[in-house]
């Protein structure tokens, strides 16, 4: 509303109805503009860094809806996205890993790397841009020495703990902002070595939130100690205690005389079975395995060492084994917001065939692996492993060895697949035993807590 | 910091006394660059910024390299007969991280990340480089008759993947049989034993190995003592309880610190951090956990193609000189021409395309130079034929000479009309005019006395 007219103007003038001359109105408008500008300036100075970071995200769209960007790692066939990625990596001094070999058309939007061309080829040997512990971790991921959702996340947190310990704030910088900026190139590097898993993504989100939430009054040593404490707390609560809780809940579901079918290698499922055996349940296990990873051998190793009776078959034999199975216990890489289970490739087949034989399918998953993504098929977002892994060593692989020269031959080594929620009967989490459809509720509750 | 680099340049070159009696081995010219330039160039190319060079005072005086890296030159006294492990012990205060040890006589174009990645990924104690050795085919001056048999063979045992080093023994240490421990075969039932591999003397060592060396004074040489010790220790367990009880009284009397590497091993490996969570194992044949719970691991990268020379005999020195003109353009940046800009060559056409000529060298008319390396400040007069030769600095060759497959050291003078074939002329020697020598080694009398 316009400011009230000054009394002298009202008394003395006869020019306009409002009692002010045009020049005076203009001056008034200018004064109002200056006042608004000054107000905006003070608001900008007062605002916290978190709010400043939050603002640009809301700016490009209306205040109500958020624009969801398709992540770059599933846009490999879009040259503009790849150029953006290359520019970002160059800025962060992280080398770009080249793709390898011809891809199957349906998966041409995903990266496919070769294990024989590691990222370290393009980096200097005493690595300066990237912390040496992160380089080591990235190498272990890309060479396949660290496998398994929990193991990768634990190793990641361990390395970040070391990074925080070795970190020192440069002068004129705030720890809460500089440390996040320091971690970004490391995360890009690890992403180039091997796409991040959902568990790692959630852990990184938590860590970034903790760092940004540090109050600026803390000294550097106290802040670092607090961060390391929160990492330890996360590991203890979300991973170790969660595993104990899941083990206890699952124990109720395992009865004497059961025949349990497991697939591949899930640290959680192995631990559950070992605990159940230690607590006196009598059951036997059928371990199902598949090429090329042959991870079931590791489950077999762990179970047999504890004295559990095991049978070992390949996935091609499950329809012969299922008539004698009483329940199927599966691990998960991530649980998606629509209740689908993302797990090692082959899990959805096991769930499908189990449904056909009316065998209950139970999935064990900690809540920190719950993901807000929604996926209805396995094509949209997946990971392509090194295609040369499919070639048998020795004489058996003679036919496939020249696959690159053959233009009509493509090798596909998928890592994950998505099991629809109708095929899963129960999800055992650290919050209890929930049906698949309750996953969005858990996610909502988690968001409210945060 | 991840690595520190150490270049060992204190060795004497005992297998090439003809050459090294007058010039110290790190300064022997190969392709007109001192031998030590090659490992330093390798380190510079892969991104090192600081190098520790262990050498003698004599070499330090003469060392003059233009390199962007910071060289920390540590001198060891000339008279102390120090092995490579002794040198590491000497500088162990400077070493704060894992260390990359190189020998000064290594010329290679290996992609070093292969060796270092093995070290990083498997959290190894030791990682080294080897290449299939091939016999030098060149005639070595001074060798009469058939070639001497190669020095004692090394037996190297690797596992199926070809990366893990399981066994190492030198023929000299064995009586008649090769003894392989049962614990080794139980853990690695398939082992490939190879001979004919040349060790490049390039080692990545963990920091705790350096600490162990500092305390354990009985090891003098890295290659012949430390490496076999580490390879053996992979399959022996730390001192068992029973043994400890037996030694308790002795220990109480002597109060000896344990000289076993296992007491130095620091276990901060990510692979062993949560072993029950990771589903990877290094082997598939039995129920044991990854690496059989062994804390010491040794890895080797065996090069299949590429150059890798250790210039420690005359034959290898000549071979390296032959190969270097092909290698140099890739190493030196910005590219230097093979014929130096300051060289004065009258008949350019008669100089072969793979010959190297140093700066300030004058070459006369009608002089043909093929497949040769000529140092700087030489004077070569007219009508000289030089084929397949290695000529060092400040050499004078008068008119009408003909040299084939010769090695001529610094400051030598070859008078008119000499005809030399397969000869080695020592430094500052002077040959009479019209002398003819085939397959001879001509060195000064004072050098002969050294032997």
B→A interface, C-beta within 8 Å: 1-4, 46-49, 100, 111-113, 116-117, 120-123, 270-271, 273-274, 276-281, 284, 287
Query: Does A107 score more than 60 pLDDT?
Result: yes
Q: Judge whether A297 is closer than 8 Å to chain B, CB to CB.
A: yes
DSSP state of A112: B
Q: How far apart are CA B8 and CA A312, in angstroms?
A: 54
Please answer yes or no on whether A151 and B277 come within 8 Å at the CB atom.
yes
Q: Distance between CA atoms of A423 and B298, rounded to whole angstroms?
A: 48
Mean pLDDT value across residues A32-49: 74
Split at pLDDT 50, 70, 90, the class of A60 is very low
**Does the CB of A155 have a partner CB in chain B at under 8 Å?**
yes
Q: What is the pLDDT of residue B331?
A: 74
**If pLDDT is split at 50, 70 and 90, which confidence band does A354 have?**
very high
pLDDT > 90? residue A57:
no
Tokens of B408: 């001529």
The pLDDT value recorded for residue A419 is 96
CA distance B161 to chain A (A): 11
How far apart CA B65 and CA B408 sit, in angstroms, is 23
Cross-chain residue pair A139–B273, CB shorter than 8 Å: no
- Note whether B392 and B29 are within 8 A (CB): yes
Chain A residues closer than 8 Å to B284 by CB:
294, 297
Q: Does A95 touch chain B (CB under 8 A)?
A: no
CB spacing of B274 vs A151 below 8 angstroms: yes
Q: How far apart are CA B11 and CA B222, in angstroms?
A: 13
Contacts of B127 (CB under 8 A, 6+ apart): B115, B116, B118, B119, B203, B204, B298, B299, B300, B301
Distance from CA of A315 to the nearest CA of B (A): 18
**Parts of chain B with a pLDDT under 70:** 79-80, 136-139, 142-151, 238-259, 267-276, 278-279, 282, 284-285, 333-335, 445-451
pLDDT category, A59, cuts 50, 70, 90? very low
Structural contact between residues B168 and B227, judged by C-beta atoms closer than 8 angstroms: yes
Interface of A with B in 176-205 (CB under 8 A): none
Nearest C-alpha in A relative to B289: A301
- Residue A12 has a pLDDT of 43
pLDDT given at position A358 = 95
> What digits encode the pLDDT tens for the residues A209-240?
999 988 888 888 999 999 999 999 999 999 99
Tokens standing for residue A284: 């036997």
Distance of CA B259 to the CA centre of its chain: 29
What pLDDT score does B221 carry? 87
The CB density around residue A243, as the number of other CB atoms within 10 Å, is 20
Smallest Cβ–Cβ distance between A140 and the set B47, B121, B277 belongs to: B121
Tokens at residue A112, please? 């496919």
Q: What is the DSSP string of B9-25?
A: E----GGGHHHHTTS-G
Written as one string, the DSSP assignment of B71-118 is EEEEE--SSS---HHHHHHHTTTT--SEEEEEETTEEE---THHHHHH
Q: Which residues of B touch A299 (CB under 8 A)?
A: 279
The pLDDT assigned to A6 comes to 47
Q: Is-contact B91 B68, C-beta < 8 A?
A: no
Q: Which residues of A touch B44 (CB under 8 A)?
A: none
Structural Rg of chain B based on CA atoms: 25
- Whether residue A81 lies within 8 A of chain B, CB to CB, comes out as no
Query: B280 vs A297: CB contact, 8 Å cut-off?
Result: no
Per the structure block, which two tokens stand in for A157? 């947190």
Q: What is the rounded distance in angstroms from the CA atom of residue A102 to the CA atom of residue A109?
A: 12
The model's pTM is 0.84
- Do B278 and A146 make contact, defined as CB atoms within 8 angstroms? yes
pLDDT in tens, A136-185: 999 999 998 888 899 999 999 999 999 999 998 888 888 888 999 999 99
Q: Are strands B50-55 and B106-108 parallel, antiparallel or unpaired?
A: unpaired
Prediction ipTM score: 0.84
Is the distance from CB of B355 to CB of B370 less than 8 angstroms?
yes
Beta strand B191-194 with B154-159: parallel, antiparallel or unpaired? Answer: antiparallel
Q: Which of A427, A93, A32, A446 is nearest to A268 (CA)?
A: A427
* Structure confidence at residue A65 as a pLDDT band (50, 70, 90): low
C-beta separation of A346 from A262 below 8 A: no
Pairwise CB contact (< 8 Å): B117 & A159: no
Candidates B120, B204, B285, B291: best to mutate against A (most CBs of A within 10 A) is B120
Answer with the residue of higher pLDDT: B249 or A399: A399
User: For residue A342, what pLDDT is reported?
Assistant: 95
Cβ under 8 Å to B: A residues 46-65: none
B-chain CB neighbours of A124 within 8 Å are 46-48
Q: What is the pLDDT of residue A51?
A: 45
Burial A311-323 (b: 16+ CB within 10 A, else e): ebeebeebeebbe
A65-74, A188-197, A366-375, B313-322: lowest mean pLDDT where? A65-74
Q: Choosing among B6, B50, B274, which should be mutated to test the A contact, i.e. which has the most A CBs within 10 A? A: B274
Helix axes A175-193, A220-234, angle to 10 degrees: 40
Q: Which of A272, A209, A231, A253 is nearest to A360 (CA)?
A: A253
Per-residue HEC secondary structure of A11-43 comes to HHCCCCCCCCCHHHHHHHHHHHHHHHHHHHHHH
B113 → chain A, closest CA residue: A121
pLDDT for res B206 = 92
* Interchain contact, A146 vs B270, CB within 8 Å: yes
Substitution target in A116, A136, A141, A366 with the highest count of B β-carbons within 10 Å is: A136
Mean confidence (pLDDT) of chain A: 87
- The yes-or-no verdict on residue A62 having pLDDT over 80 is no
Q: B141 — phi, psi (to 5°)?
A: -60, 140
- Asked whether the CA dihedral B416, B418, B422, B425 is positive or negative, the reply is negative
Tokens of B264: 């130095």
**Pick the residue with more confidence: A394 or B265?**
A394
């Amino acid at each position: 509303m316009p400011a009230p007219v000054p009394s002298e103007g009202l008394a003395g003038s006869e020019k306009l109805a409002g009692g002010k001359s045009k020049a005076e109105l203009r001056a008034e408008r200018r004064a109002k503009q200056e006042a608004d500008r000054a107000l905006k300036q003070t608001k900008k100075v007062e605002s916290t860094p978190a709010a400043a970071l939050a603002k640009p995200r809301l700016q490009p769209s209306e205040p109500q809806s958020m624009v969801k960007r398709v992540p770059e790692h599933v846009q490999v066939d879009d040259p503009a996205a790849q150029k953006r990625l290359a520019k970002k990596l160059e800025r962060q001094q992280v080398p770009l890993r080249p793709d390898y070999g011809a891809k199957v058309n349906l998966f041409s939007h995903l990266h496919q790397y070769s294990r024989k061309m590691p990222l370290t080829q393009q980096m200097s040997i005493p690595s300066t841009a990237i912390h040496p512990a992160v380089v080591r971790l990235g190498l272990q991921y890309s060479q396949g020495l660290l496998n398994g959702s929990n193991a990768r996340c634990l190793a990641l947190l361990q390395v970040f703990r070391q990074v925080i310990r070795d970190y020192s704030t440069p002068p004129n910088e705030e720890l809460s902002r500089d440390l996040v900026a320091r971690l970004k190139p490391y995360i890009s590097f690890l992403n180039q070595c091997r796409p991040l898993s959902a568990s790692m993504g959630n852990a990184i989100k938590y860590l970034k939130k903790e760092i940004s939430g540090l109050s600026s009054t803390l000294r550097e040593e106290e802040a670092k100690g607090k961060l390391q404490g929160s990492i330890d707390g996360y590991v203890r609560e979300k991973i170790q205690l969660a595993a104990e809780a899941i083990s206890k809940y699952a124990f109720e579901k395992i009865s004497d005389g059961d025949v349990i079918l497991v697939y591949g290698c899930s640290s959680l499922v192995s631990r559950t079975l070992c605990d159940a055996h230690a607590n006196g349940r009598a059951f036997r296990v059928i371990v199902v395995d598949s090429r090329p990873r042959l991870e079931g051998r590791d489950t077999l190793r762990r179970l047999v060492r504890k004295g559990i009776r095991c049978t070992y078959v390949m996935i091609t034999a499950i329809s012969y084994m299922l008539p004698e199975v009483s329940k199927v216990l599966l691990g998960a890489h991530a649980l998606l917001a629509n209740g689908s289970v993302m797990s090692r490739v082959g899990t959805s087949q096991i769930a499908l065939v189990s449904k056909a034989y009316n065998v209950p399918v139970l999935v064990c998953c900690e809540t920190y692996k719950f993901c807000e993504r929604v996926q209805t098929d396995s094509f949209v977002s997946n990971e392509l492993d090194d295609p040369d892994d499919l070639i048998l060593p020795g004489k058996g692989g003679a036919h496939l060895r020249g696959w690159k020269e053959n233009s009509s031959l493509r090798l596909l080594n998928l890592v994950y697949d998505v099991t629809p929620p109708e095929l899963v009967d129960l999800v055992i989490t650290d919050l209890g035993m929930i049906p698949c459809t309750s996953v969005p509720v858990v996610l909502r509750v988690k968001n409210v807590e945060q | 910091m991840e690595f520190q680099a150490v270049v060992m340049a204190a060795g004497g070159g005992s297998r090439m006394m003809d050459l090294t009696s007058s010039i110290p081995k790190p300064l022997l010219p190969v392709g007109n660059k001192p031998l030590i330039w090659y490992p330093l160039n390798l380190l510079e190319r892969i991104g090192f910024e600081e190098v520790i060079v262990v050498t003698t005072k004599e070499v330090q005086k003469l060392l003059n390299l233009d390199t962007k890296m910071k060289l920390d030159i540590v001198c060891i006294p000339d008279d102390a007969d120090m092995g490579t492990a002794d040198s590491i012990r000497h500088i162990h205060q400077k070493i704060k991280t894992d260390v990359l040890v190189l020998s000064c006589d290594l010329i290679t174009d290996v992609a070093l990340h292969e060796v270092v990645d093995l070290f990083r990924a498997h959290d190894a104690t030791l990682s080294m480089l080897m290449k299939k050795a091939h016999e030098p085919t060149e005639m070595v001056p001074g060798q009469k008759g058939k070639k001497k048999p190669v020095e004692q063979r090394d037996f190297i045992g690797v596992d199926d993947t070809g990366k893990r080093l399981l066994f190492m023994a030198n023929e000299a240490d064995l009586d008649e049989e090769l003894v392989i421990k049962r614990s080794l075969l139980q853990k690695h039932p398939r082992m490939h034993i190879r001979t004919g591999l040349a060790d490049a003397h390039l080692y990545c060592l963990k920091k705790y190995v350096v600490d162990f060396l500092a305390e354990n004074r009985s090891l003098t040489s890295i290659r012949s003592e430390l490496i076999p010790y580490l390879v053996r220790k992979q399959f022996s367990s730390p001192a068992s309880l029973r043994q400890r009880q037996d030694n308790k009284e002795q220990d109480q009397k002597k109060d000896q610190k344990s000289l076993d590497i296992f007491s130095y091993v620091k276990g901060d490996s990510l692979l062993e951090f949560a072993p029950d969570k990771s589903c990877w194992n290094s082997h598939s044949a039995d129920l044991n956990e990854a690496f059989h719970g062994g804390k010491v691991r040794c890895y080797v990268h065996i090069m299949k193609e590429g150059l890798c020379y250790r210039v420690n005999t005359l034959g290898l020195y000549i071979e390296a000189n032959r190969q270097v003109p092909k290698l140099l353009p890739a190493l030196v940046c910005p590219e230097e021409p093979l014929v130096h800009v300051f060289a004065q060559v009258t008949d350019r056409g008669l100089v072969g395309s793979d010959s190297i000529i140093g700066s300030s060298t004058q070459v006369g008319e009608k002089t043909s130079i093929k497949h040769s390396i000529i140092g700087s400040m030489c004077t070569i007069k007219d009508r000289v034929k030089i084929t397949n030769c290695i000529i060092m600095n400040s050499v004078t060759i008068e008119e009408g000479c003909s040299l084939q497959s010769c090695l001529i050291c610094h400051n030598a003078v070859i008078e008119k009309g000499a005809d030399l074939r397969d000869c080695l002329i020592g430094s500052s020697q002077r040959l009479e005019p019209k002398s003819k020598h085939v397959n001879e080694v001509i060195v000064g009398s004072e050098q002969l006395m050294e032997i």
